[in-house]
């Protein structure tokens, strides 16, 4: 029996395992109730009584040794398996940066324009991009034969059979003015940003789809001075405190008097450069006092109320703000261009 125990000790000491099955086989062979060790304990009763105590101690040592070895082998196994399971992820590598998208420059500028006007009491209103003749032209005093209604300028969609009314893609956001005035009572202070469409060839300076923002203020005693001061406030906030503003007499069917809005060139500060064609001024939009006939068309009494309106190109303002020279960059989706914009100052 002693030799058997000695042989087992040797066996257990040398045991190595490299998988779960081998570990289980070890357990069955040396630890379980049917193990060789348990069998030897069973044989203890056949040992001569004087040797039985010593033999018992020896078997206990064997049993402890088998248990210890099993524990070692188990933890060894655990370590190797955890290592294998985690090996595809190297936690010591530097993290992969989480790349954030940037906002489109037109969107940034649109947001900034809204912010500036919201602070002086304007709300935001929207209208449909597919518009009828009344809202885009007739209510705004465009005569029946006005050149802006021509096929070359306007994308017509259809003529409604029973009314004979034309449906077209809106050519300006002034159509939203009409919708707001038809639906609300003065005082009205509203800003309408949106997409507009014109039948134009695409170039660095023109596009068939672009963005405008329309402003409208209707109240008692609104004067041209209010219009000037409001826009002056806007350009100072949008560009810089030193930006100058100039109103050039102009004509729009829906305003009287009308004026084109120029600001001092942001590139040369008025000194003259190729962007402002050496005039020191660049145009950002049109404006004027709402024509009394337009108020009547929208059921507002021109004896009681007056108002001003303006419309500006968002692309134009963005180009001046960021010194962008080609309109097409806005729609080309070139990531190198787009990544340059994240916040607006
Ligand atoms: N709708 C005009 C355009 O697209 C811009 C404009 C001019 C809007 C004068 C206005 C305004 O509200 O008063 O060219």
Q: Is the CB of 211 under 6 A from ligand 1?
A: no
Structural domain tally of the chain? 2
Task: Identify whether residues 58 and 19 lie together within a single domain.
Answer: yes
Tell whether 58 and 186 lie within a shared domain: no
Q: Is 217 in the pocket of ligand 1 (CB under 6 A)?
A: no
210 lines ligand 1 (CB under 6 A): no
**Position in ligand 1 atom list of the atom nearest CA 215:** 12
Of 79, 95, 130, which residue constitutes the final position of a domain? 79
Q: Whose CA is nearest to atom 3 of ligand 1?
A: 172
Q: Across-strand partners of 283? A: 262
153 plus 209 within the same structural domain: yes
User: Is the CB of residue 207 below 6 angstroms from any atom belonging to ligand 1?
Assistant: no
Boundaries of domain holding 26? 2-79
pTM beyond 0.75, yes or no: no
Report whether residue 330 contacts ligand 1, using a CB cutoff of 6 Å. Answer: no
Residue 343 within a domain: no
Residues 69 and 31 in one domain: yes
The candidate with the shortest Cα–Cα distance to 292, out of 258, 259, 254, 251, is: 254
5-29 mean pLDDT: 88
Q: Where are the beta strands (DSSP E) in 265-314?
A: 281-290, 306-313
Q: CB within 8 A of 32, min separation 6: which ones?
A: 38
Q: How far apart are CA 201 and CA 152, in angstroms?
A: 10
**Out of 63-77, 202-216, 218-232, which region has the weakest mean confidence (pLDDT)?**
63-77
| Residue 136: DSSP 8-state | H
* Span from the CA of 310 to the centroid of ligand 1 (angstroms): 6
* Cα-to-centroid distance, 91 and ligand 1 (Å): 60
Q: Is residue 119 included in any domain, yes or no?
A: yes
* Under 8 Å between Cβ of 282 and 266: yes
Q: What does the pLDDT average to over 249-275?
A: 91
* Candidate of 190, 286, 314 to mutate for ligand 1, largest count of ligand atoms within 8 Å of Cβ: 286
Nearest CA to ligand 1 atom 4: 172
CB 191 within 8 A of CB 111: no
Q: Are residues 211 and 331 located together in one domain of the fold?
A: yes
Strand, coil or helix: 169:
strand
CB 194 less than 6 A from any atom of ligand 1: no
Answer yes or no: do 176 and 213 share one domain: yes
- Say if residue 173 is in the same domain as residue 277: yes
pLDDT value at 152 more than 70? no
Mean pLDDT of 243-266: 95
pLDDT digits (tens, 9 = 90+) for 82-99: 665 666 788 888 888 887
215 and 162 within one domain: yes
Whether residue 17 is found in the same domain as residue 140: no
Q: Determine the Cα–Cα distance for residues 195 and 205; give it in Å rounded to an integer.
A: 17
Whole-number pLDDT of residue 169: 96
Task: Indicate whether 95 belongs to any domain.
Answer: no
Query: Is it the case that residue 150 has pLDDT exceeding 80?
Result: no
For residues 26 and 17, the answer to whether their CB atoms sit within 8 Å is yes
Task: Tell me whether residue 87 is in a domain.
Answer: no
Q: Name the pLDDT band for 222 (thresholds 50, 70, 90).
A: very high
Query: How are beta strands 255-264 and 245-252 bridged, if at all?
Result: antiparallel
Residue 327 shares a structural domain with residue 292:
yes
Q: 73 pLDDT band (50/70/90 cuts)?
A: confident
Instruction: Give the end of a domain, one of 44, 79, 114.
Output: 79
85 within domain boundaries: no
């Amino acid at each position: 029996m002693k030799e058997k125990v000695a042989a087992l000790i040797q066996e257990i000491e040398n045991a190595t395992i490299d998988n779960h099955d081998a570990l289980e086989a070890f357990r069955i062979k040396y630890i379980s109730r049917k193990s060789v060790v348990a069998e030897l304990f069973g044989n203890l009763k056949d040992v001569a009584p004087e040797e039985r105590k010593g033999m018992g101690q020896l078997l206990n040592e064997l049993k402890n040794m088998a248990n210890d070895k099993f524990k070692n082998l188990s933890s060894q196994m655990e370590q190797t398996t955890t290592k294998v399971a985690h090996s595809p992820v190297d936690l010591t590598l530097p993290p992969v940066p989480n790349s954030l998208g940037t906002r489109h420059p037109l969107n940034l500028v649109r947001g900034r324009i809204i912010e500036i006007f919201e602070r002086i009491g304007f709300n935001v209103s929207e209208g449909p991009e597919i518009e009828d003749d009344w809202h885009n032209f007739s209510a705004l005093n465009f005569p029946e034969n006005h050149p802006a209604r021509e096929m070359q300028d306007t994308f017509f969609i259809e003529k409604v059979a029973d009314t004979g009314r034309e449906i077209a893609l809106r050519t300006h956001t002034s159509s939203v003015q009409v919708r707001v005035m038809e639906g609300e009572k003065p005082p009205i202070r509203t800003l309408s940003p949106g997409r507009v469409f014109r039948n134009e060839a695409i170039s660095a300076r023109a596009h068939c789809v672009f963005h405008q923002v329309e402003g409208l203020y209707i109240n008692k005693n609104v004067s041209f001075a209010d219009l000037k001061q409001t826009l002056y406030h806007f350009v100072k906030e949008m560009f810089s405190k030193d930006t100058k503003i100039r109103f050039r007499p102009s004509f729009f069917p829906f305003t009287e008097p009308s004026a084109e809005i120029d600001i001092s060139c942001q590139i040369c500060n008025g000194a003259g450069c190729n962007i402002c064609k050496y005039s020191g001024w660049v145009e950002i939009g049109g404006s004027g006092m709402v024509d009394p006939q337009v108020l009547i068309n929208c059921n507002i009494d021109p004896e009681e109320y007056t108002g001003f309106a303006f419309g500006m190109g968002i692309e134009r303002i963005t180009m001046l703000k960021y010194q962008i020279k080609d309109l097409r960059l806005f729609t080309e989706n070139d990531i190198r261009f787009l990544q340059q914009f994240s916040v607006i100052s």
